[in-house]
Chains A and B, each alone.
Chain A
Amino acid sequence: MFTLRRDRARRSAATTGLLAAGALLLSGCAAKSVATGSPSGPAASGVASSAVASSAGASSSVAAPAGAAASGAAASGAGSSSPGSSAATPGGPASVAITITDAKGCIASPDTVVAGAVTFTVKNIDATGITELELLSDQRILGERENLTPGFDSTFSVTVDGGSYQIYCPGGATEKIPFTVTGQAADVATGSTATLLQTATVHYSTYVDNQIEFLIPPVQELVTAIKAGDLAAAQAAYARARPFYERIEPVAESFPDLDSAIDLRIGDVEAGTAWTGFHPIEKGLFVTKSTRGLEGLAADLLTDVKNLQVKAKALSQATTAKTGKGYQPFEIANGASGLLDEVLKSKITGEEEAYSRIDLLDFQANVEGSLQAFATLQPALDQIDPTLVPTISSKFDALVAVLDTYRDAKALGGWTPYPELTAADKKKLTDALLAVQEPLSAVSAKITR
């Protein structure tokens, strides 16, 4: 565990501030602006130039987050359901057929269209190694389709302005072919994916700052309860504090010294080093069942958390000021995935809260943090591939639905104590978790650095 954290921290330090996720604050507050589809948020810049419309076949019309021009989500047609008519009616959207073969890679017909809406119909004949196709403009992904398995068709639409583009079929005999758009599209606005991503980083930084702000009062209560010798109050405060930290853990991990000081478990403490932070306090409160001797640890924890607040704020300011040293969009994506990895590594195994057994509370907080980080990126992702967000969101929904069955209002922290879960329960949670993590782990690559 600790090793991993250190590695991550090093990695992040090399890039810039790390990242991670956030969470939906039950109590509302400012964190709300980060929630899914904030109407005044990322999309305010208007209709995107690469606005993605939907398309053929079985379109599962999951509403895209507000602001994205897409009104529906295109689905790749499967098997026998071939896409509809591709006749190019004058003034209507242009149709381009892309054929992928093992021998030649991808071929577009026609390879020149007039600016405006273009519908691409993609057919993979026999290229087993090609699973995706991208429409690129200066390395930026304007439209993308995945799951291009041989024998299956797919469709996507974009609105493009005049210029030179490329169709990219990675792994193909010919990987990139030129694609030309002539003229100028009407009503093309300037809101770009890059703009949406910058907005996302600002929203995310606000979210992180809020979580840390909300973390301080329960830690304060913990200090007070321990000082007063009130075991029950201290246990309650401990459980109240944990989720705020767990939602943003990858950010904390970007400050390796702080994360170690705050959240190390006994098995990760090097010989000769002091064990500090949440977990020795947890052991005292839930195993020794006494507040005695914990005063110093609690006071130090408060100091460290406040220190974390200062450092995170500096990151936020850099983000808003666009100095290049703040949160990076791809880091938010990595953090979202990293939070789920946290769950898989130390929550599903029941190792994180070995004494208090509130593992599911941490579990839920990690998931929520991941979901929030992902949510900030949605408007931008919707421009790249309108099927992406609905796909991942539905998996998140399924995970949350499974998790919700373990709520227990009477238990400390509000969740079933971890030892009460059966092996079958844990398998169900793992399966739901992996279903989200796999597609989520590929998101950062869709975001231009």
Chain B
Amino acid sequence: MSSSVTPPSRGPDGTPPRPSRRRFFGTAAVALAAGGAAGYGVRTATAAGTGGAVATGSTTASGGATTDRSASTVPFYGARQAGITTGQQERLMFASLDMTSTDPRDLRLLLGRWAAMAARFTSGQTVSSSPDKPEQPPFDSGEVLDSGPYSLTITVGLGASLFDQRFGLAGRMPAALAPLGTIPGDAVLQPELTGGDLCIQACADDPQVVFHAIRNMVRAARGTAVLRWSQLGFGRASATGAGQSTPRNLFGFKDGTNNIHADDVSATSDHVWVGRKTDQAWMRGGSYLVARKIRMEIESWDTDELSDQEKIFGRTKVRGDPLTGGTEFTPIAFDKADADGTPVIDPASHVRLASPEENGGVRILRRGYNYTDGQDPQTGKLAAGLFFIAYQRNPHLQFKVLQARLGSSDLMNEYIAHIGGGIWACPPGVAEAGDWFAKSLFTPV
């Protein structure tokens, strides 16, 4: 699965990561260093298992002031789709599409075309090598012609709605993909920002690269499928590799300190990848994506006092250590109480409700991004928040369990609202050219 070459990881006793290359840059220029680190991690912690060619990537300029991440690539072909346990890149564009054609052949062709395009884009190529014809619109939209792949990954998923009567797939839907039903906190989910027959997650270390990928794949779908909704994410809000620093969400807190890391093979095989025991063989080696567009009530949050903000999270704001003490990576002492018997970590704090300890060991791989859509013209407030993405083996046993508790009790609910999202089955990887996304779904059992 993961490449054997791994970035510096946490010590066996759970101590914080050893200083890594990036941390040397980091002391001087925090933002710059964090960026460089992500690119480095991506090349080493690849999701695909082919061990295939990894382009020589970043070259650190003498003096270490800049890092060229443009040429970094993540292998596209492999047993698993990249973009799940791949070290998280800095930028996201996510798209949900609905099929307009009801011809199964169109669906297969689309998944094949997307696979071919994804193979090219992730290696830094454009839509086609064909010479453009003067009398015809260019094959590629062109906005990344002078760019590189910037560790682009493209991950494709299939929604439950695809398994209706239209394409003859009704009998092939995995039970794990069944709609989650209403979960507390879903009250304001907007249908136009929710669901979709297909999804594409494009992640890279450059915003234009992810936009280009989605734009051209949506274009290729015209006449077969249409864009239902989409989201641009501007800042990594999770760490998926032990070598990655814990990023901050728009509330200013470190998010994802205890996230599953890509190099933790037992955690990914236990919690992320669909294994042999599945009702649908075509999903073996795949994973289920749950997305939630979570609006943050930024203006309200900004008027909440620091102690309350920290109580809501259960961690300190600046350092990210648990309120029970230690450093960011110190295990949280959930049992610890004040002299008067009050738990130090509030029973309704975010960190407690989301913790594996309080949820029978349930874990998910988070891969969220901060987002903003500018200003909400209706209210005048900032339209911003967290585009939450989680991967898991079974959303009913993982995301739903966590979100049911968070949605009903989380202190943070006063400051957030789930306004969109969905659940998709991400099939195993595209093995080689000629294979395509979910090909085995379409072959006779």
Query: Which residues of A come within 8 Å of B, CB atoms?
Result: 58, 75-76, 78-80, 102, 124-132, 147, 149-152, 170-172, 330, 391, 395, 398, 424, 431, 434-439, 441-442, 444-445, 447, 449
Contact = CB atoms under 8 A, between A and B. Distances in A.
Nearest to B133: A445
20 contacts: A79-B112, A79-B439, A80-B444, A102-B433, A125-B434, A129-B116, A129-B128, A130-B128, A130-B130, A149-B109, A150-B434, A151-B112, A151-B433, A152-B109, A170-B128, A171-B129, A391-B223, A434-B222, A435-B100, A439-B222
Contacts of A126: 432-434
A259 B223 CA distance: 32
A149 B112 contact: yes
Chain B interface size range: 20 to 34
A268 B432 CA distance: 53
Contacts of B380: none
Contact of A127 (B137, B433, B436): B433
B131 interface: yes
The residue in B100, B109, B130, B131 that gathers the most chain A C-beta atoms within 10 A of its C-beta is B130
Contacts of B432: 126
A438 B119 CA distance: 23
Nearest to B114: A149
B128 to A, nearest CB: 5
A132 B109 contact: no
A171 B436 CA distance: 20
A434 B133 CA distance: 21
Interface of A: prevailing SS: loop
A130 B109 CA distance: 14
Interface in B394-433: 432-433
Contacts of A447: 135
Nearest to B134: A445
B105 interface: yes
Interface in B23-56: none
Given A128-B433, A444-B135, A149 B130 contact: no
Contact of A150 (B133, B192, B223, B433): B433
A147 B109 contact: yes
Interface string B105-125: 100110011011101100001
B226 interface: yes
Contacts of B443: 79-80
B108 A78 contact: yes
A174 B178 CA distance: 48
Contacts, number: 107
B428 to A, nearest CB: 15
A79 B108 CA distance: 7
B219 interface: yes
Given A147-B109, A172-B129, 20 more contacts: A79-B442, A80-B443, A80-B444, A102-B433, A124-B434, A125-B434, A126-B432, A128-B117, A128-B119, A128-B120, A129-B128, A131-B128, A149-B112, A395-B223, A424-B192, A431-B100, A431-B226, A435-B222, A439-B222, A445-B136
Contacts of A434: 222, 226
A439 B223 CA distance: 8
B442 A125 contact: no
Given A151-B112, A330-B135, A439-B223, A129 B100 contact: no
A80 B226 CA distance: 26
Contacts of B115: 149-151
Given A129-B120, A431-B100, A434-B222, A147 B113 contact: yes
A152 B100 contact: no
A439 B443 CA distance: 29
Contacts of A391: 223
Contacts of A102: 433
B435 interface: yes
Contacts of B130: 129-132, 170-171
Interface string B167-189: 00000000000000000000000
A129 B137 contact: no
Contact of A435 (B105, B128, B223, B444): B223
Contacts of B133: 445
Interface string B125-150: 10011110101110000000000000
B223 A80 contact: no
A449 B219 contact: no
Nearest to A442: B136
Given A424-B192, A431-B100, A152 B226 contact: no
Contacts of A78: 105, 108-109, 112
A432 to B, nearest CB: 8
A276 B73 CA distance: 57
A338 B160 CA distance: 38
B146 to A, nearest CB: 19
Contacts of B109: 76, 78, 147, 149, 152
A100 B108 CA distance: 19
B433 A125 contact: yes
A171 B136 CA distance: 16
A166 B221 CA distance: 30
B136 A151 contact: no
A447 B112 CA distance: 28
Nearest to A333: B135
B136 A444 contact: yes
A431 B218 CA distance: 11
Nearest to B227: A431
A341 to B, nearest CB: 11
A398 B135 CA distance: 26
